[in-house]
Structure 1
Amino acid sequence: MTTTLEDQLVADFYDYESLLSDEERKLLLKARAFMREEVKPLVNENWAAGTFPKELIGKFRESGLAGLPYEGYGEHRPAVSNLLSGLMAMEMSRVDASVATFFGVHNGLAMYSIHSGGSQEQRDRWLPELAAMDKIGAFAMTEPLGGSDVAGGMRTTARRDGDSWVLNGAKRWIGNATFADYVVVWARDVEDDNVKGFVVEKGTPGFSAVKIEGKLAFRIVENAEITLTDVRVPEADRLQGIASFRDVAEILRATRGGVAWQALGVMIGAYELALDYAGRREQFGRPIARFQLVQDLLVKSLGHITASWGMLVHLARLQDAGVFKDEHSALAKAFVTARMREVVAWSREIFGGNGIVLDYDIARFFADAEAIYSFEGTREMNTLIVGKAITGQSAFV
C-alpha cells in the first residue's frame, strides 16, 4: 500500500512495519493520524495543567480504535495480532505517553482482566460497552504500602456476606479511577487468603477516588488514591475465572509486554524530536546535525530503538503462538525501559537549554519516561524474574 511522508517513521530503520498485513497497516495508520490530528494539539496545555482532556473520550469512541484485541467485541470483530496491538501502544506513546496510558489502562488492563478472568456472561455484559468506549475502565491493584510485594502482601480484603462481598482497603496510583465507570479491584479473600477480582461500578457506596496531585510525570493521567469502606459488590460482579494471584499473573504477563511497547514509543518520539531539532538548530554557522558528537547521540539512540523493536516483534510472535512466559515479558520490560531512559536523556541533551521547556515537547518525554521505567514491575523485580528463569535459583526474599 502507498503511504505519505507523514505516515512514514524515520525511526523504523529496519522497516519492521512491513511485517504487518495491509489491513493491519491501515489500522496502524488510522491510529497514527488520530494521534497526530486529535491528540498532539492538546497534550502540552493539559500536561502543564495536570488535567486529562475528557473531550478525547468522545473522539476515541468515534475512532473505533478500542476493543481491537478482543474477538467479537468492538468495531473490528476479528481479534488483531499481538504485533499490531503492540505497535498501537507504540504509536500512541510516540505522541504522548499519558494519553497512551489512559487508553492502555482502559483497553488493556481493565478489558483484558474481564476478557481473561470473567465468565462468558460477564464478558458479554461489560465488554461491548467498554469496546465502544461508552463506558471507561480502570484497574486497581497497587496499594499505598504495596507495589512490588502486592502478590503476597495485599492488604485490601474481601469478605463473603451472602450473595455479596464486602471490600475494605486502599489502592494508589490507579489511572482513570477518578472518572471510570468500572474499576477492576483486586482484593484478598479473608477465608482462603487468595486474591480475587471484582468489578466495582462508579457511585457504589463506600468507594472513593481522589486524584493524586503534584506529579512530575504522566501529568495528564488522572491517577487516584482509592478508599474502599465496606463496599458491597454482588457475587455476580466477581470475576468468575480468577481463583488466585496465579490467574492475575496471566493478565500482568500480557500487559507488561504492552508497557515495553509503550517505552519503545517514547524512545521513538524523543528521537524524532531530536533528529528534527538537530537539522534546524544552527551553531557556529551550521546545523548541529553536522557535528560528530550530535550524530553519535542520534546513532546510539537509533541503535537502542532498532534493537528494542526487534525484541518486541519476536515477543509478539511468542504471544501469538501462545508460548510466551513471564520471563519473556519481564526481560522486554526491563531491557526496553532501560534503553528508553538513555534515549530520552540523549535526545534532551541535543536540545541543550531548550530541552527543559514544554515548547519543544522533549521535556515531557524526558519526565514521562521515569513513570514508565517504574510501573508494571521495576527493573529490579523484572530482573529477578528473568534471573530465576535462567539460573533456576530464586533471589526473591
Structure 2
Amino acid sequence: MSDFYRLDQQLSDDERKIVKAVQAFVSDDVLPVINDFWERAEFPHHLVPAIANLGIVGGTVEGYGAAGLSHLATGLVTRELSRGDGSINAFFGVHSGLSMGTIDLLGSEEQKQRWLPAMARLEKIGAFGLTEPNHGSDSVALETTAARNGDTWVINGKKRWIGNASFADLVIIWARDTADSRVKAFVVEQPDGDESVPGYTTEIITGKIGKRAVLQPDVFLENVQVAESNRLVHAESFRDVSRVLTRTRGGVSWEAVGHAMACYDVAVSYTGSREQFGKPIASFQLVQNRLAWMLTELTAMQLICQRMADLQAQGEWTVEMASMAKMHTSSKAREICSSAKELLGGNGLLLEHHVARHLTDMEVVHTYEGTEFMQSLILGREITGISAFV
C-alpha cells in the first residue's frame, strides 16, 4: 500500500534483487536489535560484515570492488535502510556516499586504487569532516586550516557532527589552505592498531534525541600532519564540496521517503487493529482522512525521488533540483512521521512500535545537509537571480 502508484513495478530484475536483499537484512538483522542499541546510544558494529555482504557498498562508484549501482538502485538502498533505521543508514551513507563518493569524485587514480577497494569491502571505514562548531549552514566559512610544510600539511581546527569519525580508518577533512585561502580536502589515515594519528582526537556527542545509534563526535585537530600524497588532488575550492553534496543531498531525500514509508505502514496496521468505542479506529473519518493525506504526500515524495534518479542518470541533476527535493521530502516526511505518532496515541511514544525512533530521526534528517530554510534560499536564488544569503 505504501507504493500506491506501483513505482516498484518499473524496477529491473537486478534492482528488485537489491531491494529484497536489503529488506531481508533489515527484517532479519536490524529490527530485532536496533531499538536496544538506539536506546543505549551505541552503534551495532556486529552488523557491518552483513552490510558488506549485501553488495551495495559504494553505490554508483564503478570499479575498485564497489557496487556500481544505478542511481535508482542506490536511492532504493537508502530508502530501505532508512525504512529499517536511520542510524544504520547514516553510518552507511557517510561511508559509502560521502567518503567513497568524495574519493571517487576528487581523488587521483592512484588514490582511488589505494583506498576504495578496502572501503568497498568495509575493511576500512570512512568519515567526512566538513561541519564545524561555528559553521553549519555557512560551511563555506570553515576555519580549519592546512599549512604546507614541504611534502607535509599541518592541519588545525575543529569539526562537529562527524559521523563514524571516532572509529573510522579514513577521515576526509576539509580545510582552508593558509597560503591561498582555497578549500582543500585531506585524507587523515589512521594507523593500524589502537593508536590514532598524533593530534587527532574525538569526543562523542551525547544527549541526542535522534540518530542515537550512530556515533557523531566532535573532532579536534591539533597540528595533525598529513602527507601531500593524502591531499585529494581534484579538490581545489569550495565548489568541489558542493559537487559532493549535490550527489549526496539526493540520498537524503530517499532517506526521508524510507522513514515516511515505515511510519505510514505502522499507522495503517495499528489503526486497523486498535479498537476504541467498539470498533477499529481506522473506521473513523478523521483517521481515514489523515491516512489518505499521509499516503498522498508519501506518493509525491516517491515520484520526486524517482524523477531525481532519471535526471541523475542523464547528467542533468543540479544543485537547485537537489535543494527542492531535500526541502520537500524532509518537510513532508517529518509531517508523516508526526501524524503516525498521533494516530498511535500514547503507544506512538514507545520504541516497540518504531514510530518514535523514525520520528526523532527525521528531526535529524530535516536538519543535516541543509535545513529546508537554506534549501529554499538556494531555490529562491535560482528563481529570482538574487542571493538572499551570500
What TM-score comes out, normalization by structure 2 length? 0.97
Q: Does residue 1:232 correspond to 2:229, yes or no? A: no
Number of residue pairs aligned between Structure 1 and Structure 2: 385
| Contact persistence 1:68–1:74 (CA under 8 A) | no
Whole-angstrom distance in 1 between the partners of 2:65 and 2:42: 28
Between 351-360 and 370-379, report the one with greater CA deviation: 351-360
Aligned counterpart, 1:31: 22
Query: Conserved in 2, the CA contact under 8 Å of 1:67 and 1:132?
Result: no
Say which SS state the counterpart of residue 161 (structure 2) adopts.
Answer: strand
Name 2:161's counterpart in structure 1: 173
Which aligned pairs between 1:34-45 and structure 2 lie closer than 5 A? Answer: 34-45=25-36
Give the corresponding residue for 2:320.
327
Identify if the C-alpha distance between structure 1 residues 199 and 342 changes in structure 2 by more than 3 Å, giving closer, same or farther: same
- Equivalent position to 2:179, from 187, 191, 212: 191
The percentage of counterpart residues that share the same residue type is 45
Encode CA deviations 1:288-330: one digit per residue, 9 max, x unaligned.
Answer: 1111111111111101110011111111111111111100000
1:97 aligns with 2:86: yes
Picking from 218, 237, 244, the partner of 2:237 is 244
1:174 is paired with a residue of what secondary structure? coil
AA in 2 matched with 1:95: G
The reply to whether residue 50 of structure 1 matches residue 41 of structure 2 is yes
C-alpha separation between the residues in 1 aligned to 2:218 and 2:112? 27
Tell me how far 1:75 sits from its aligned partner. Answer: 6.0
Give the alignment partner of residue 114 of structure 1, picking from 103, 127, 134.
103
Question: Structure 1: where are the runs of 5+ without partners?
Answer: 1-9
Q: CA deviation at 1:73?
A: 2.8
| Preserved contact between residue 64 and residue 74 of structure 1 (Cα < 8 Å) | no
Cα distance between partner residues in 2 of 1:21 and 1:109: 26
Is the counterpart of residue 85 in structure 1 residue 78 in structure 2?
Answer: no
Q: Supply the AA of the counterpart residue of 2:176.
A: R
> Which of 369, 375, 391 does residue 384 from structure 2 map onto?
391
- The 5-angstrom pairing of residues 177-326 of structure 1 reads 177-202=165-190, 203-326=196-319
- Mean alpha-carbon deviation: is it higher for 197-206 or for 327-336? 197-206
TM norm structure 1: 0.95
How far apart are 1:61 and its partner, in Å? 2.1
C-alpha RMSD of matched pairs (Å) = 1.0
Q: Contact conserved, 2:326 with 2:375, CA < 8 A, in 1?
A: yes
Tell me which residue corresponds to 1:14.
5
Q: Pick from 35, 39, 53 the counterpart of residue 62 of structure 1.
A: 53
Per-residue deviation, residues 89-126 of structure 1 (Å, max 9, x unmatched): 01110111111111000100000000001001101110
Matched letter for residue 356 of structure 1: L
Could you give the per-residue CA deviations for residues 174-207 of structure 1, whole angstroms, max 9, x where no partner exists?
A: 0011111111110011111111001101221110
Q: Distance in 2 between matches of 1:18 and 1:249?
A: 34
Query: 2: CA distance between counterparts of 1:69 and 1:32?
Result: 19
